[in-house]
Structure 1
């Protein structure tokens, strides 16, 4: 028996649906997992969380555990901006300063990045990739490209993919603005 919207129950009768959610009592009672209620399916934050969870699971399976997503982001940004200071880079990769310090410490412990004290300001740490870091990043970047291709059903080079990325980037910026606003 398939549990989809509009399906019939074991006795052939159509289950009664909640007007508010579209769910049936049988959805949650032994007939398999219930369908996601409509209020959640139309909530951007819920959908983004689902995407993130699916991406994190796919990352573990297809990219390997060589680098976490945040570690990959930091190393990619360090490669793009060698000798940039750790604090400035945190904003670039959407990490708070505390998380950034932890990620950099772990990468330094694995000899993937080097942190040097800035000559003009002893509090600032300047980041650069080590030779081993360059090698690991190159390998992981290939794996990430393959994962992106799989996630987009092979359409990574199409205009639609570029438009999606642009829309997600703009949405991220808007949500960050909302997060910084005072509550109304």
Structure 2
């Protein structure tokens, strides 16, 4: 701290510490923007929606509600999770009592997922908070463009997943 000529204390930045802007080539890269969006979304989710139930867990609970007879592998595709991540997410939610897993009637190796009463209640509560977050995140966007923006994000996600699967660029 330093004192101004009027005797008031003022804060001075620490010597040698600079907060530079991101380089222009980084700002121009779509992946950088996507990562910033995702990091900001995770922080907002944790603070305003649920610090324990993650976005992927919420997505799985939503998919179980939407597709009650679907198996774990099919639901993994619906929520854009690879099967090993899906299995891990489901194990954690099963331990917490949010879902149950049982063998599918058509294939004993496949696991059908069901919401428990606790899982349905958690989903209902988190759903309300998640929709409030969605509104806050898009409040600067005109209401008539919001569905288009969500569609654009999903289309980009599908395209980028395809790019990731290519053998070469």
TM-score (norm 2): 0.86
Equivalent position SS for 1:122: strand
CA RMSD of aligned residues (A): 1.6
Residues in 2 aligned to 1:108 and 1:51: alpha-carbon distance in whole angstroms: 30
**After superposition, where does 1:12-161 map in structure 2 within 5 Å?**
30=16, 32-153=18-139, 158-161=143-146
Give the structure 2 partner of residue 4 of structure 1: none
- Structure with bigger strand share is 2
Deviation at 1:40, TM superposition (A): 0.7
Question: Which residue, out of 140, 144, 164, partners 2:149?
Answer: 164
Residues in 2 aligned to 1:168 and 1:130: alpha-carbon distance in whole angstroms: 31
Residues 62-111 of structure 1: per-residue CA shift (max 9 Å, x gap): 01224101100100011100021001111111111111001001111111
Go from structure 1 to structure 2 and tell me whether the alpha carbon gap of 1:97 and 1:142 turns closer, same or farther (over 3 Å shift): same
Checking the alignment, whether the CA contact within 8 Å between 1:149 and 1:155 is kept in structure 2 is no
Residues in 1 aligned to 2:69 and 2:35: alpha-carbon distance in whole angstroms: 33
Uncovered stretches (5+) of structure 1, i.e. residues with no partner:
1-28
The runs of at least 4 aligned residues of structure 1 exceeding 3 Å deviation read 29-32
Residues 100-125 of structure 1: per-residue CA shift (max 9 Å, x gap): 00100111111111111112311000
Provide the aligned length of Structure 1 versus Structure 2.
155
Checking the alignment, whether the CA contact within 8 Å between 1:66 and 1:140 is kept in structure 2 is no
Residues in 2 aligned to 1:31 and 1:62: alpha-carbon distance in whole angstroms: 32
- Structure with more relative contact order (C-alpha pairs < 8 Å, separation 6 or more): 2
Residues 18-45 of structure 1: per-residue CA shift (max 9 Å, x gap): xxxxxxxxxxx83641001100111001
Residues in 2 aligned to 1:78 and 1:44: alpha-carbon distance in whole angstroms: 32
